[in-house]
Amino acid sequence: MRRPIIAGNWKLNKSIREAIDTVTLLKRQLADVQAVDIVVCPVYTAIADVAEVLSETAIKVGAQDVYWEDKGAYTGEVSAPLLKEAGAQYVVIGHSERRQFFHETHETVNKKTRAALKAGLTPIVCVGELLSEREAGRTFGVVGEQLKGGLAGFTADDLKQIVLAYEPVWAIGTGKVATPQQAQEVHAFIRKQLTEGWGAEVAQAVRIQYGGSVKPDNIAELMREPDIDGALVGGASLEAGSFADIVKNAVVVGVR
């Protein structure tokens, strides 16, 4: 059974105060929504306060990255048990900005995902091709490699705890949303890869979000596609009203 899941990735935005104000509004605006899993991912420093504000609600908190070691001489890093302690239940792993600016590789995505699962966090593992890769006809090849490397060695039970996000890099923050057909084609490919790797039961259970310029007015048509189970939202998640509208407009299909 796949329950829709909408997550907001705030990236490097919002002070602690601003984050608290945003989720205080969200809490009110989304109080009645029950059919969708909702996650907000603030910067590390705001996680504990945001979790506190959301503690009596169904809205969960996620981190935007994690390190794979639990502790030690790794200056500047934050581990999965510490994120859990701060109140996070999800963590975004392998976002294209981390791959592009911070040298994230298939191997580091794999280690981080393993660490998240061990700590009881739900990883949201991102994949997606560059515009040049799409234009060269390499979309499936690139996404296939990202899945193979990022998910190598995981069991069927592990996979059932993971959320995947297909985020074509050319659609992130550009206002250029993939058409529902373009997105569905890759989501179906991802599910086929899951079927080949872990069997049909696992493939049918794993939720695959779409990410890339999702807005209140395009989420419904994306959600109508059979393999799109939700969205990872950047820019439009920063304002409580537009994120709440995305969540509400995502309820065009129930649990699949």
Output the CA–CA distances (angstroms, integers) from residue 247 to 99, 119, 144, 219, 256, in the order listed.
Answer: 27, 28, 29, 9, 17
Indicate if 187 belongs to the active site.
no
Helices (H), 120-218: 131-135, 139-150, 156-160, 180-198, 200-205
The verdict on 133 binding ligand PEP (CB under 6 A) reads no
The verdict on 178 binding ligand PEP (CB under 6 A) reads no
The verdict on 211 binding ligand PEP (CB under 6 A) reads yes
- Catalytic pick from 95, 97, 187, 225? 95
- Residues in contact with ligand PEP, counted by CB under 6 A, come to a total of 13
The verdict on 222 binding ligand PEP (CB under 6 A) reads no
Strand pairing partners for 209?
165
Indicate if 52 belongs to the active site.
no
Strand pairing partners for 5?
37, 230
Distance from C-alpha of 152 to C-alpha of 53, rounded to nearest angstrom: 37
Which positions from 6 to 45 touch ligand PEP by CB under 6 A, shown as an x/- string?
---x------------------------------------
Q: Candidates 35-43, 44-52, 192-200, 234-242 — which segment interacts with ligand PEP by CB under 6 A?
A: 234-242
DSSP secondary structure code for residue 177 in this structure = P
Distance from C-alpha of 18 to C-alpha of 145, rounded to nearest angstrom: 38
CB of 132 to ligand PEP, least distance (A): 18
DSSP secondary structure code for residue 55 in this structure = T
- Residue number with CB closer to ligand PEP (202 or 240): 240
Residues engaged in binding ligand PEP (CB under 6 A): 9, 167, 172-173, 211-214, 232-236
Residues with a known catalytic role? 95, 167
